[in-house]
A and B are shown apart, each in its own frame.
Chain A
């Protein structure tokens, strides 16, 4: 097994029964359940947004991208670093025969994998919950827009890369859950105000996720071209974070 492969397996062991894993599972469940209850008891009011199944997916993905996904990314990253701090793990991890930069890279990719797990769960839960909502006849849900669902899932998966690369670095540097959550929500809120304005927005960690707001404007489509900018800035963040971690060893000793 390659050293990186072994480190990923070690990281997987650490995530068993852990808070980051629980967060990754609970986040999509909580959001889907909350909105499903809201839809179920709203009666015929959502008929205004026919076809309601489409609206169900649009509303879920907008809430996910603007609120839940940035919050989940912040939580996952902070809890994961905190787990290492509480275990005083760096005294042990940094004396293992693996390059220092590998520790950061593995952390970053593990955080991304956790957020992807969240998104896969979300992708599975939406049609299931939508199917249950079809039993509420007043809603007139209509058919499942499968292509739309996959399009949104792909866009939100790409948007999560920048969020994870930013929060991995932030939580390594600033060990505070409240700071991470505040920055996540403030960043999302501020970026939301610039949607439709400067294209430079794509380079911000929340830039791509906040574009999800355009989905309610039926004449506009998701700005896929922005993905390249977002992924490029993510790559820069990962490289800078790796250099920072490998260079400044004493912050973790």
Chain B
């Protein structure tokens, strides 16, 4: 079960900090990140790639985005 990072309502750079911290936790190879702005969505995708991860899927979810990222 992939861990979920709920960054909805948080302004940048919080969503990225939370995501990068979660990526660096041991044993994680997949994460679900919830955000509610397009800026955060782009920043999460960019940060994931910078960490060597990739974006697996992006779904719209309750006015925001559910981003699945993985190694």
A and B bind = no
Q: Taking beta carbons and an 8 Å cutoff, which residues of A are in contact with B?
A: none
